[in-house]
Structure 1
């Protein structure tokens, strides 16, 4: 990445963190034992998991594509992408259909929980970790009663260069 792209990426990520800290409505879902939240405004629909058509030489986290009412949608298994311990396809497995930068993308998760409204006071900054753990797409930690919710910049994750889903020139 060149310096301009780095600066744009940092600015976008800071904007996502600020938006999360301000609060709003989040769709909550499970990946393994952890609960995550994403901005409800990025969600187009939720569908049951169906086996996608595999694409040759695609990374393991890209399960393939499905035809969604005439639109070819890439399906990303977030459990594989985020290195979850187990990846199981069962009756709870769902696809969250997202609209990211004008592109429709599906994200496979273990299950969808609910939609929560969080005010800024219920959201804490994501911890800074200087390890091999990539926390760059975590915008904050929400707490609701006894639940901890990892808030994710789903747009940033889906448009990251290693996903290869959206041309980096078009992502700006």
Structure 2
């Protein structure tokens, strides 16, 4: 789920409560941990990044093609909990154009990230998460979803993050 989507608060609360209780379905709980770091990439300690620009810089240094992050001040779960959302594009090569914009969400704490992760999974999102950040990849079309599934493990490896879907 990208930070640009705005949902009624009641709907978000229902999704949060549903996602946080009961047994999640197996097809929505796939996680993949990245254990190897890309040589030469700048990393925060144990997947810790203090800014969206730090994430973009690490991806650039690892050879990804990314745009500058643009702050998104629209109302969303991320901004409601005191975080910040950014939009950018990311791809791993010139031959693979970015299918749509992606998001970088910077959260004030790990609990806010955990709740967002469950919401994102509930909507079928594909994201890479770290200490208090998430890179949310596009899923608006089958082409975007396919590209995001291909890119997610590569991005996770560079950022020392975990794929969430």
Indicate whether the TM-score tops 0.5: no
Max Rg structure? 1
Relative to its length, the structure with more strand (as a share) is 1
Larger RCO: 1 or 2 (CA < 8 Å, sep 6+): 2
TM-score normalised over the length of structure 2: 0.30
Relative to its length, the structure with more helix (as a share) is 2
